[in-house]
A and B are shown apart, each in its own frame.
Chain A
Amino acid sequence: MSVTLLWWALAALTVAGAVAVIATREMMRMLLGLGAFLLGLAGFYAWYGFELLAVAELFVYVGGVLVLFLFAITSMGRDREGRSMERRLDLGALGISAGMGLVLLVALQSTLPAAPTAVGASVEDTAAALLGPLLPYFELAGVVLLVALVAALAIIGREDAR
């Protein structure tokens, strides 16, 4: 019972954060919403028993990506523009989004058990997997990160090089 309650609380947190991201008109509130969403995700990973994943999520996303968003916004002075972001209700987009969600739901409905189950995996097993069968993809991910680093520098250009 408590397990399920915890799960639903996490779900509420995550969904609330997501809605805030898409709906709010103020930059900072959007960032808060994004933060809540990411925290909720980390919580879910932990609930499922994926401890390594949860910690990685916290470090990388909340600590990295979110802070990156914050830096980007504040260094460009966007946060001082007040109610700057518009939003609009777009029925077509609504239809497409709902349609996408429904289609995915229907397509994948048989692949998951009816109720969420926590299985969990140990860190040692994951490490063994990463350096074993998943080694190529692990290395490839490293390459992707390097390329992204270089790309980001190249895109920004020389004005910002310090």
Chain B
Amino acid sequence: MTSLALACVLMSVGLYGLLTRRDIIAVLASIEVMLGGAQLLLAAYSASVTLASPAQGVTLIVLATIAAEAAVGLALLVALVHRGRTRTDQIEEVRG
């Protein structure tokens, strides 16, 4: 229960940063925080089930996937910075 609370707090913090920060790097870092909180939740859950080893395996796989996401996000960042845009309000492609 406490671990759940901690994980939820971390996710909330990360979400706040995602919604609020103006610089793209900060947004990416906040995403990392949020996803880290999710991983913690997963790990804590794994600790309460009978068969823990598959659970650890699952968390491992999730970890790898999220690391891949971080890499792609940074690549996007580099591409954007090269075009001179470093703030979130400069990205307007998906505008309705």
Interface set of A (CB-CB < 8 Å, partner B):
11, 14-15, 17-19, 21-22, 27, 30-31, 34, 37-38, 41, 44-45, 48-50, 52-53, 56-57, 60-61, 64-65, 68-69, 72-73, 76, 78, 84-90, 93-94, 96-98, 100-102, 104-105, 108-109, 111-122, 125-126, 128-130, 133-134, 137-138, 141, 144-145, 147-149, 151-153, 155-157, 159-160
Contacts and interface: CB of A to CB of B under 8 A. Distances in A.
Nearest to A66: B32
Interface string B56-96: 11111101110111111011111101100010000000000
B44 A141 contact: no
Contacts of B61: 130, 134, 137-138, 141
A21 B1 CA distance: 25
Given A109-B1, A116-B44, A126-B57, A97 B12 contact: yes
Interface of B: 1-6, 8-17, 19-23, 25-26, 28-30, 32-33, 36-37, 39-41, 43-48, 52-61, 63-65, 67-72, 74-79, 81-82, 86
Contact of A72 (B23, B45, B67, B74): B74
**Main SS at interface, chain A:** helix
B78 to A, nearest CB: 5
